Structure 1
Amino acid sequence: MRDHAYDAVSFRLSEMEHRYGPNVHILANPFLLSQLAVLSAKTTQQPAINQLVARLYADLVTTVINAEFPRKQMKVPTRMIDKNPRGMLLGEGIDPETRAVTVNIARAGTLPSQVCYDLLNHLIEPRLVRQDHIVMSRMLDEAQTVVGAGVGGAKIGGDVDDAIVLFPDPMGATGGSLATAIQLYKEKVPGKARRFVCLNLIVTPQFLKRITAEHPDVAVYALRLDRGMSPPDVLATVPGTHWDLESGLDEHQYIVPGAGGLGEIMNNAFV
């Protein structure tokens, strides 16, 4: 005896309309946008900063799990099973045998990756969950313009065969760091991943252009799109309509309106 209403549980993203392609998901979530606005505010200080980042990533990774992770039929005896044979929970849930890897891109990605890692360990078999670590830094030219990202070190704990690989990095500015990190996994880490997913709090049009061009197979989930350096007429259009004219970066490649350098303020280390 089962309730067939839960045989297949549908999940629909609430996301912003845009023209960036089917792998880009800019969430339309008033609660999370309000919390992100508090995080971005000039007056917000520690410990609220890291508390907000952790809270936002708990919600963001939950959304990604609902949208991207495979499902499996559950069969769970509830506390009522001893009193009634119908005390059996049947229905669709997340497959606990899913392999998952979350990648800490130090330093802004350290706390977000830990949040994702801890949550995944509560949901799927812990033996199938891993956290890797990559140290990266921006590469600048003589004019202090970002020209790429360099890998300073990595601690990668195994292959990624059939794993969903998550890159929780708060600020998607130029896309250099994440594009480099994804390429590292594709070229140097054994196994074929099931899916690569970027989890960002804020992204720019430039970030989306680089990721979708260099890694068209990668999914991007973001809470907010910032294109504040775009011309006024472009800001009046659906995002992505005039992609080449959109900009969310100032002359130093910081996001506008943005939230400042999260790697700096999250660690209280302004170097």
Structure 2
Amino acid sequence: MDCVDCQYQYIKTTSCGCEVEHEYAQLYPENYKNQVHILHSTFALSMLHAFCNEKVAYGQAQSFLPSLYNSLLFAATSTLPVTTQCTATRMHVYEKERGFNSSSTLQNSNAVVVSVLRAGNIPAMIISDTLALSPNVGVYNDYVVAERVTQQDGAISGTAISGCKLSSKEMTQDEQRRILIIPEPMGATASTTDAILSFYQEKYQQQGGLEFFDEIWGLYLIVTPEFITNMAAKWPQTKIFSHRLDRGLSTKEILATKLGSHVQQEKGLTANGYIVPGAGDVGNLLSLKQI
């Protein structure tokens, strides 16, 4: 069996398994500019590998998600300006003149976490719970029902928004640093993210649309070159954070090149809009349905 290291190079299996040369991607892959952040944590990738394994139990798969999504969140917050403040520790009773200079990137921030029902529900809960631990951060939880629209041949043709409950509508322009966060399992065609951003553009029309938000983050386990191209064309203000960029349907020559060096020739989607190698039907996996 041929095995594709879709991020770095084309490889073949040996008797002891896949031999992978660890040439990790830059945080900003070439030609993707600062909009795209592909993380290169060996530990996170090992968890994602287990999550994507076809033999993983659907209950077990969820245990990997907190670490995977929190590491994406931490990467996103690291792009914000840093502020420092002196904090008294429990040793203050003994050494009153000494404190700890702590750094923060979320000081006086307000985050809107979008729960995209169904597959984005668990990722949104993880992000929301983690942000709630950070002092001086306001967290708004929005719920959007997004349904995939497919053609008769099974090809994905778009996404329809069929319902919502928005706590973020209580947010005012007086509140500092407003961040819109969309955590989803996969970034394949960009149809879901596009539909959600179009939805918020309309809902916040009186406040200037998406310009109401100082930052827009999309957090994904896996993305494709097609996803990045589509997002850059329509929503260039969105920062994309992902553990993996799958371009498994590219030619051997393209797979041997660095990420983003031949953007238009990189390919990660089937004709029906599914990621290769991807992770299979993550929607069912995260909805506790046997697949």
Could you tell me the TM-score, scaled by structure 1's length?
0.88
| Structure 2 Cα separation of the partners of residues 87 and 98 of structure 1 | 28
Task: Compute the displacement of 1:269 (Å).
Answer: 3.2
- State the match for 1:183 in structure 2: 198
Task: Compute the displacement of 1:125 (Å).
Answer: 3.1
The amino acid across from 1:202 in the alignment is I
| Structure 1 Cα separation of the partners of residues 120 and 268 of structure 2 | 20
| Structure 2 Cα separation of the partners of residues 104 and 94 of structure 1 | 23
Give unmatched runs, 5+ long, in structure 2: 1-24
Task: Compute the displacement of 1:85 (Å).
Answer: 2.2
Please tell me whether residue 85 in structure 1 is matched to residue 96 in structure 2.
yes
Please tell me whether residue 120 in structure 1 is matched to residue 120 in structure 2.
no
Alpha carbons 1:27, 1:224 under 8 Å: kept: yes
Higher relative contact order (CA 8 A, sep 6+): 2
Q: Which secondary structure does the structure 2 equivalent of 1:220 belong to?
A: strand
Task: Compute the displacement of 1:14 (Å).
Answer: 6.2
Q: Which secondary structure does the structure 2 equivalent of 1:102 belong to?
A: strand
My pick for the range that moved more, 174-183 or 238-247, is 238-247
Task: Compute the displacement of 1:29 (Å).
Answer: 1.2
Indicate the RMSD between aligned Cα atoms, in angstroms: 2.0
- State the match for 1:196 in structure 2: 216
Please tell me whether residue 164 in structure 1 is matched to residue 179 in structure 2.
yes
Counterpart among 239, 248, 256 of residue 259 in structure 2:
239
My pick for the range that moved more, 247-256 or 236-245, is 236-245
Counterpart among 147, 156, 159 of residue 146 in structure 1:
156
Alpha carbons 2:58, 2:290 under 8 Å: kept: no
Task: Compute the displacement of 1:193 (Å).
Answer: 0.3
- State the match for 2:9 in structure 1: none
Task: Compute the displacement of 1:217 (Å).
Answer: 0.8
Give unmatched runs, 5+ long, in structure 1: 1-12
1:174-216 deviations in whole A, cap 9, x for unaligned?
A: 0000011112212212541011010000000111111111101
- State the match for 1:110 in structure 2: 121
Counterpart among 42, 45, 68 of residue 54 in structure 2:
42
Task: Compute the displacement of 1:65 (Å).
Answer: 1.8
Counterpart among 279, 282, 291 of residue 262 in structure 1:
282
Query: What number of residue pairs does the alignment pair up?
Result: 257
- State the match for 1:10 in structure 2: none
Please tell me whether residue 96 in structure 1 is matched to residue 107 in structure 2.
yes
Instruction: Identify if the C-alpha distance between structure 1 residues 29 and 143 changes in structure 2 by more than 3 Å, giving closer, same or farther.
Output: same
Alpha carbons 1:164, 1:194 under 8 Å: kept: yes
1:73-130 deviations in whole A, cap 9, x for unaligned?
A: 212111222222223222432343211111111111111100000000001336x111
My pick for the range that moved more, 22-31 or 92-101, is 92-101
| Structure 2 Cα separation of the partners of residues 157 and 234 of structure 1 | 45
Please tell me whether residue 67 in structure 1 is matched to residue 87 in structure 2.
no
Could you tell me the TM-score, scaled by structure 2's length?
0.82
My pick for the range that moved more, 173-182 or 237-246, is 237-246
| Structure 2 Cα separation of the partners of residues 16 and 22 of structure 1 | 6
Counterpart among 24, 35, 49 of residue 23 in structure 1:
35
Instruction: Identify if the C-alpha distance between structure 1 residues 157 and 58 changes in structure 2 by more than 3 Å, giving closer, same or farther.
Output: same
The amino acid across from 1:58 in the alignment is N
Alpha carbons 1:38, 1:44 under 8 Å: kept: yes
| Structure 2 Cα separation of the partners of residues 66 and 20 of structure 1 | 18
Identity rate, percent: 28
| Structure 2 Cα separation of the partners of residues 171 and 163 of structure 1 | 24
Q: Which secondary structure does the structure 2 equivalent of 1:252 belong to?
A: coil
Please tell me whether residue 51 in structure 1 is matched to residue 63 in structure 2.
yes
Task: Compute the displacement of 1:241 (Å).
Answer: 2.5
| Structure 2 Cα separation of the partners of residues 71 and 241 of structure 1 | 32
My pick for the range that moved more, 154-163 or 174-183, is 154-163
